[in-house]
């Protein structure tokens, strides 16, 4: 957790959000309590041709299996599946962290590994946001949705330091506002949006460029 609060005035409507250049190639979303409702609302409104890969961490029990990919696939038009270690991410697909494993990025490759718990969770949100920022820099967007405590704050702050875009659900629209409030307090977020505006914002920032999303993903790695 950062020690000093961030002083920043984020936009409050997706229409006020400046379209980034270059456009966003990777969108990383994190949620906890109240997150199933929040995630399904966002995913249901995403278009089929969104030109970015979407990665999701939801705090779930480490025991058993999760039906979150099936829920998301039924909620919208984009295919969702548990991420597999070593697979190359693709635009227009949703990758979900499976129970008991962190989801991170190594360039365009998804890593699904147990690792130590962070903020008391496995999967945790911070590792995904942190590695999205490290791998994609200004081509990464991080989104914090409903949840308790502060997982995601440190990762979102690092993503911003790498030039990425930070979007947070308006705490007034979150069933559990602690996670969004923490992110707003300690990270210079770009937008604080009502839940039902977040999909429109993501569509805007991942607008198609002259190259296809797959070509951009293949060419981009800020670690080079």
* Residues identified as active-site: 32, 59, 151
Distance of CA 172 to the CA centre of its chain: 20
Instruction: Give buried/exposed letters for 69-84 (b at 16+ CB in 10 A, else e).
Output: beebeebbebebebbe
φ/ψ of 27, rounded to 5, equals: -120, 120
């Amino acid at each position: 957790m950062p020690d000093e609060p961030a002083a920043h005035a984020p936009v409050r409507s997706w229409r006020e959000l400046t379209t980034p250049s270059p456009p966003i190639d990777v969108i990383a979303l994190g949620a906890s309590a109240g997150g199933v409702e929040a995630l399904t609302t966002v995913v249901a409104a995403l278009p089929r041709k969104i030109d970015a890969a979407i990665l999701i961490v939801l705090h779930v029990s480490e025991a058993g299996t999760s039906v979150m990919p099936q829920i998301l696939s039924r909620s919208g038009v984009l295919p969702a599946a548990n991420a597999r270690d070593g697979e190359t991410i693709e635009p227009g697909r949703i990758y979900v962290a499976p129970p008991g494993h962190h989801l991170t990025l190594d360039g365009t490759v998804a890593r699904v590994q147990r690792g130590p718990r962070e903020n008391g969770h496995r999967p945790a949100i911070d590792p995904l946001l942190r590695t999205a920022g490290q791998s994609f820099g200004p081509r990464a967007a991080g989104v914090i949705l409903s949840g308790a405590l502060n997982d995601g704050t440190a990762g979102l702050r690092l993503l911003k330091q790498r030039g990425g875009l930070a979007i947070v659900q308006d705490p007034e629209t979150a069933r559990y506002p602690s996670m969004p409030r923490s992110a707003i307090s300690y990270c210079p977020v770009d937008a604080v949006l009502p839940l039902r505006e977040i999909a429109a914002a993501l569509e805007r920032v991942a607008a198609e460029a002259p190259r296809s999303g797959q070509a951009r993903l293949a060419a981009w790695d800020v670690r080079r």
